[in-house]
Structure 1
Amino acid sequence: MKHLIVFAHPHQEGTNQAILKRMVQTLESQGHEVVVRDLYALNFQPVLTEADTEAMKVGNTPADIKAEQEYITAAEAITFIYPIWWTGLPAILKGYVDRVFAYGFAYGYGETGIAQLLTGKKGLIINTHGQSNEIYDQVGMTDGLKITSTTGIFGFVGIESVGHLLFGNAPYAEEAQLEAVLRQVEETVTTAFNN
């Protein structure tokens, strides 16, 4: 299976980077093809401009958007790995969605409503956050994040969700806690993408 991992964290060390490395190792060891798009390393420009939208209206998609759309088109599975900042996606990833999951590419409008143009692909979201999972569950944040990201992004464009993992206390994870997180990532990836 061909995988695209969209990674959005500015640090080259830490929990998110460890999750990325374990996911890539797991997938490649099982014979999957993996492409990683590290948005910070790419210095991805996240602001959707009027020039972008005007160009796309006439079929002249800007080169940086077109390149990312080609990775999505080639992928059979798409994973987003990112931290929760201020109850949502980091700006660079929100901008990636704004610019790349564009009208006419990821969705359209038809006589029956929204046309989902990315059907047939599987999607996984992996998040880290500073609060405990228990607090996120109690205040409804866990459910809210799943609705806004899994349903609101992947579901909107027709990507079939195979899971949404949220790992709390990420900045404070000790070695044993981090290894438990990585084992869960490995198990989820193995189960979700080998059926």
Structure 2
Amino acid sequence: MKHLVVYAHPHPDSFNHAILETAVNALEAKGHEVVVRDLYALDFQPVLKPQDTAAMKSGDIPDDIRTEQKFITQADIITFIYPIWWTGLPAIIKGYVDRVFSYGYAYAYGEEGIIQLLKGKKGLIINTHGTPKEIYDQMGMTAGLKITSDIGIFDFTGIEPLEHLLFGNVSETLEEAVRKDILRQIEETINSLFK
């Protein structure tokens, strides 16, 4: 299987980067082909500009958007790995969705309503956040994050959401035992989802 991992964290020594490495290593150990798009390392431009939409309407897709769309088109599985900031997606990955999952590429509208143009693909999302999981669960934020990303992005465009892992209380002071347990859970999830 061909996997596209879209990764968004500004610090190469972050726990999110350890999650990325764990996911990639688990997939490659099973013989899967993996492409990583590290949005910060790429210096991806997240701002959807008027010239972007004008160019796309005329069929002249900007080069950086076309490049990312090619990676999505070639992938069977799309995995997003990013931290939750201010109860949402970091600007760089939100901008990636705004620009790359564009009308006419990822979705369209027809007489019957929404046309999902990325059908046949599957998706996985892995998130960390600093708030304890119990608090996010109690306030409905965990469910809200799953709705906005799993349904609002993946399902909306036809990508079948397979799993959405959210790990709370993650900070620089994360205990080593907890860190190892989270990475173990990620490896186990990947091993169970992808044979």
Same fold (TM over 0.5): yes
Quick check: 1:144 aligned with 2:161?
Answer: no
Corresponding residue of 2:88: 88
Separation of aligned partners in 2, 1:167 and 1:11: 18
| Residue 88 of structure 1, CA deviation | 0.3
Letter in structure 2 aligned against 1:178? R
Percent of pairs with identical residues: 67
Count the aligned residue pairs.
Answer: 194
Quick check: 1:153 aligned with 2:168?
Answer: no
Question: Residues 1-195 of structure 1: matches in 2 within 5 Å?
Answer: 1-171=1-171, 172-194=173-195
Separation of aligned partners in 2, 1:120 and 1:191: 19
1:31-65 deviations in whole A, cap 9, x for unaligned?
Answer: 00000000000000000011000100111000000
Separation of aligned partners in 2, 1:123 and 1:173: 27
SS of structure 2 residue aligned to 1:162: strand
1:157-180 deviations in whole A, cap 9, x for unaligned?
Answer: 000011000001111321110111
Where do 5+ consecutive residues of structure 1 fail to align?
none
SS of structure 2 residue aligned to 1:59: coil
Q: What root-mean-square deviation, in Å, do the aligned CA atoms of Structure 1 and Structure 2 show?
A: 0.6
Separation of aligned partners in 1, 2:104 and 2:191: 33
1:53-87 deviations in whole A, cap 9, x for unaligned?
Answer: 01001110000000000000000000000000011
| Residue 13 of structure 1, CA deviation | 0.9
TM-score (structure 2 length as normaliser): 0.98
Separation of aligned partners in 1, 2:179 and 2:158: 32
Where do 5+ consecutive residues of structure 2 fail to align?
none
Separation of aligned partners in 1, 2:141 and 2:132: 11
SS of structure 1 residue aligned to 2:190: helix
Letter in structure 2 aligned against 1:186? E
